Chain A
Amino acid sequence: MLKTFPSGGIHPPENKLTANIQIGHLPVPESVTIPLSQHIGAPATLIVNKGDYVKTGQLIATAKGFVSSNIHSSVSGKVNKIDTIIDTSGYRQPAVFIDVEGDEWIETIDKSDKIVRDITLSPEDIKKRLLDSGIVGMGGATFPSHVKLAVPEGKRCNILIINGVECEPYLTSDHRLMLEKGEEILIGISLLMKTLKVEKAKIGIENNKPDAIAHLTKLAAGFKGITVHALKLKYPQGAEKQLIKALTDREVPSGHLPLDVGAVVHNVGTAYAVYEAVQKNKPLFERVVTITGKSLTKPGNFVVRIGTPISRLIEAAGGLPGDTGKIVSGGPMMGKAISNQDVPVIKGTSGIVVFPENESEREESGPCIRCSKCISVCPLNLEPFLLMKLSEKGLFERAEKERITDCMECGSCSYTCPAHRPLLDYIRLGKSTVIRMARERNLK
């Protein structure tokens, strides 16, 4: 019997169209736009000026405060301007525009293909290297990794959990990375283990990726303390708390962090980025992105420089199909439809899914029939129908008591609702209002 998290969850069609397509390299575009806020936390502070020549991998913005991240140039060339760009939500935010000239990398990066196995750096140095290299969580949440590795005094971490679940339908970037860069990922995990001073690391992979499970299990035999675990297919298993429950049977209480049960979770993509940063001295300026969709002629997985417009990625996949209804950045469950194709790929862009018109339409919503399907699929045992009603009516204090802030916005409730009610839409509204209310209360 394979392990999984106990309550809730759904089984959306997998549609992993690109699972067998090797990771390719997207050519460096003529110009890139690199936003200054690609992570959770304060936007980075710019340190280059208009007209400056920058090399690939050069630091262009420094972290502002502890929860923030460095940003590096993903290309070599001239800083054309510092202006605002339209982000995935359509709002403007500051970004650096760089016109590409050649591809000159900074000298410190080890460009060779050779796998560096020896771990020479001390935990403190590794942490510093990750901060310097601008490593953030690559699963999509983009939480700065060095913050997760800084275990506060009085708390103890005894297990590292590596998320290779990739439970979002369509996306395959982590899957391909595990197959093609397995050893690098395992070295990255060893580095994380050393930094956290833990003896044990568990990699969780859903059993729809048997090749990745077999490959990593074979490789992990050569690494001390790392084990690979196949998990039963269920969305949202890639969520931090659900994965911890599935792999260790520890339950993170409401309002607490995984560290409170002695666990730290990192994504396989992050483990690979850690390997590159520490062993190859390569800052985070490119990532693997899945570009997929049923009507695309050449879907695939590509290593893309940060700041490349999404339109270039779509071109590489054979151009935008005529019947396109929606372009979603991220997975179909938790991703966000974009309103503009010039939006750049950022550190958290794990995939781009192009939906044909007939699949992107939302059904008309009807009245709630109290079937309680939303309650049964909620992985956090919340009552989505109630939370929706409360935020619709503006009863935010009550919604707070009903633990609306626990919601991780996985969308299982909206997916399963037979009346197609916009449950998550309203829960998001309530959640953001409650968070704002709590912040104002704390200020007083």
Chain B
Amino acid sequence: MSSIILITIISLSVVALICAVILYFIAQKFKIVEDPRIDEVQAALPQVNCGGCGFAGCRNMAEAMVKADTFEGLYCPVGGTDVMNAAAKILGKEAPVADPMVAVLRCNGTPENRPHTSRYDGASDCRISHNLYIGETDCSYGCLGNGDCERACMFDAIHIDPATCLPVINDDKCVYCGACVKACPRHIIELRKKAKKDKKIYVACSNCDKGGPARKACKAACIGCSKCFKVCEFGAITIDKNLAYIDAKKCTFCRKCVEECPTGAIREINFPPRKPKAELQNETVNA
């Protein structure tokens, strides 16, 4: 009886030993050497997997950062300079300097400016509404107001204002990951360079129609009149397809274009209030 137990133990031990040897060699053969720095870099990244860097998640970004010779083309908009510096320190590379940006909505089609001409009762999804027809107003370029950008934002930075039916972007929360830019089927959200005190001047319109139809559809439409283009001393404004565009890099915030715009399509945000024109005139008279 005891011999049976003994044989069993010995034979099983031999089998176990053979398996262990095979496993050892297989493990040696198929060993994956992973750079330990990947884990470190990943830990330094925000780890929200938003995809703002262009990779599927933070792990992929970390791998790319470790592999790359320089950080060119690699930037984590969510973490910004701090995170990039931390990652650069781990890897002994140089961190790129990028301007912080912020998302702006290039449309000001509030119900007052852009009256509704029909009612959409399909699924609440901008992509569907855009595929199906022009939208609830006569503007084929402007915001559809079904909130694809709101759903795409992982940082609670964008919400549809029920009064204006337009998305409102919270500058403090926006990490310029670009998810809303990708989500918008009409491509009206743009990432612009962030200025001091969150000052912004931009053309709040995306309508490429000629002046007449554009104005008919929306009171605040850019009609491509080129007045702003002529008044700008810094060459920051270009007109393409009946639509003005202000280059944030060249703009000096002089606000001349804002005054010139006949439809109020150029918006200024976070500026101190101007003195009324009458007062200005009085001042010059008094002087």
Query: Which A residues fall within an 8 A CB radius of B?
Result: 84, 86, 88-92, 336-337, 339-340, 361-362, 365, 392, 422, 425-426, 428-429, 432
Is B138 a contact partner of A425 (Cβ separation < 8 A)?
A: no
Looking at B33-41, B120-128, B187-195, B253-261, the stretch in contact with chain A turns out to be B120-128
B42 proximal to A (CB < 8 A): no
B213 proximal to A (CB < 8 A): yes
Closest residue on chain B to residue A428 by CB atoms: B131
For residue A319, give the distance in angstroms from its CB to the closest CB of chain B.
20
Given contacts A422-B123, A429-B125, 14 further A-B contacts (CB under 8 A): A88-B133, A89-B132, A89-B133, A90-B134, A92-B140, A92-B209, A339-B134, A340-B117, A392-B125, A422-B122, A425-B125, A425-B128, A425-B132, A428-B131
Is A362 a contact partner of B134 (Cβ separation < 8 A)?
A: no
Contact partners of B123 in chain A: CB under 8 A:
365, 422, 425-426
For residue A422, give the distance in angstroms from its CB to the closest CB of chain B.
4
Is A339 a contact partner of B140 (Cβ separation < 8 A)?
A: no
Most buried by B among A88, A362, A365, A429: A429
Q: Out of A91, A336, A362, A426, name the residue touching B140 (CB < 8 Å).
A: A91
Contact partners of A429 in chain B: CB under 8 A:
125, 127-128, 131
For residue B114, give the distance in angstroms from its CB to the closest CB of chain A.
13
B118 proximal to A (CB < 8 A): yes
For residue A393, give the distance in angstroms from its CB to the closest CB of chain B.
11
- Can you report 22 residue pairs joining A to B where beta carbons are below 8 Å apart? A84-B213, A89-B132, A89-B133, A89-B134, A90-B118, A91-B133, A91-B140, A92-B213, A339-B118, A362-B122, A365-B123, A422-B122, A422-B123, A422-B128, A425-B122, A425-B128, A425-B132, A426-B125, A426-B128, A428-B128, A428-B131, A429-B125
Q: Out of B125, B128, B140, B209, name the residue touching A90 (CB < 8 Å).
A: B140
Task: Count B interface residues, CB 8 Å.
Answer: 17
Contact partners of A90 in chain B: CB under 8 A:
118, 133-135, 138, 140
For residue B185, give the distance in angstroms from its CB to the closest CB of chain A.
10
For residue B136, give the distance in angstroms from its CB to the closest CB of chain A.
8
Contact partners of B125 in chain A: CB under 8 A:
392, 425-426, 429
Q: How far is the CA of A145 from the CA of B213 in the complex (A)?
A: 36
Report, nearest first, the 3 A-B pairs whose CB atoms are least far apart: A90-B134, A422-B123, A339-B118
Is A361 a contact partner of B128 (Cβ separation < 8 A)?
A: no
Is A91 a contact partner of B131 (Cβ separation < 8 A)?
A: no
Contact partners of B213 in chain A: CB under 8 A:
84, 92
For residue A421, give the distance in angstroms from its CB to the closest CB of chain B.
9
Is B140 a contact partner of A361 (Cβ separation < 8 A)?
A: no
Contact partners of A426 in chain B: CB under 8 A:
123, 125, 128
Q: How far is the CA of A428 from the CA of B132 in the complex (A)?
A: 9
Contact partners of B132 in chain A: CB under 8 A:
89, 336, 425, 428
Closest residue on chain A to residue B117 by CB atoms: A339
Q: How far is the CA of A422 from the CA of B121 in the complex (A)?
A: 10
Binary interface profile of B, 158-191, with partner A (CB < 8 Å = 1, else 0)?
Answer: 0000000000000000000000000000000000
For residue B206, give the distance in angstroms from its CB to the closest CB of chain A.
15
Is B131 a contact partner of A361 (Cβ separation < 8 A)?
A: no
Q: How far is the CA of A426 from the CA of B132 in the complex (A)?
A: 11
Closest residue on chain B to residue A89 by CB atoms: B133
Binary interface profile of B, 126-155, with partner A (CB < 8 Å = 1, else 0)?
Answer: 011001111100101000000000000000
Is B121 a contact partner of A361 (Cβ separation < 8 A)?
A: yes
Q: How far is the CA of A336 from the CA of B120 in the complex (A)?
A: 12
For residue A344, give the distance in angstroms from its CB to the closest CB of chain B.
16
For residue B188, give the distance in angstroms from its CB to the closest CB of chain A.
16
Closest residue on chain B to residue A392 by CB atoms: B125
Q: How far is the CA of A13 from the CA of B131 in the complex (A)?
A: 29
For residue B209, give the distance in angstroms from its CB to the closest CB of chain A.
7
Q: Known: A339-B118, A362-B121. Contact between A91 and B134, CB under 8 A? A: yes
Closest residue on chain B to residue A365 by CB atoms: B123
For residue A198, give the distance in angstroms from its CB to the closest CB of chain B.
39
Q: How far is the CA of A88 from the CA of B118 in the complex (A)?
A: 12
Q: How far is the CA of A425 from the CA of B123 in the complex (A)?
A: 7
Closest residue on chain B to residue A423 by CB atoms: B123
Contact partners of A432 in chain B: CB under 8 A:
131
Q: How far is the CA of A19 from the CA of B143 in the complex (A)?
A: 43
Closest residue on chain B to residue A421 by CB atoms: B123
Q: How far is the CA of A89 from the CA of B132 in the complex (A)?
A: 7
Contact partners of B131 in chain A: CB under 8 A:
428-429, 432
Q: How far is the CA of A42 from the CA of B209 in the complex (A)?
A: 22
For residue B104, give the distance in angstroms from its CB to the closest CB of chain A.
25
Q: How far is the CA of A91 from the CA of B121 in the complex (A)?
A: 18
Q: How far is the CA of A361 from the CA of B121 in the complex (A)?
A: 8
Contact partners of A425 in chain B: CB under 8 A:
122-123, 125, 128, 132
Contact partners of B138 in chain A: CB under 8 A:
86, 90
Contact partners of A392 in chain B: CB under 8 A:
125
Q: How far is the CA of A425 from the CA of B131 in the complex (A)?
A: 10
Contact partners of B128 in chain A: CB under 8 A:
422, 425-426, 428-429
Q: Known: A90-B138, A426-B128, A428-B128. Contact between A339 and B122, CB under 8 A? A: no
Q: How far is the CA of A51 from the CA of B140 in the complex (A)?
A: 30
Is B209 a contact partner of A339 (Cβ separation < 8 A)?
A: no
Q: How far is the CA of A426 from the CA of B121 in the complex (A)?
A: 14
Is B127 a contact partner of A339 (Cβ separation < 8 A)?
A: no
For residue B284, give the distance in angstroms from its CB to the closest CB of chain A.
47
For residue B230, give the distance in angstroms from its CB to the closest CB of chain A.
28
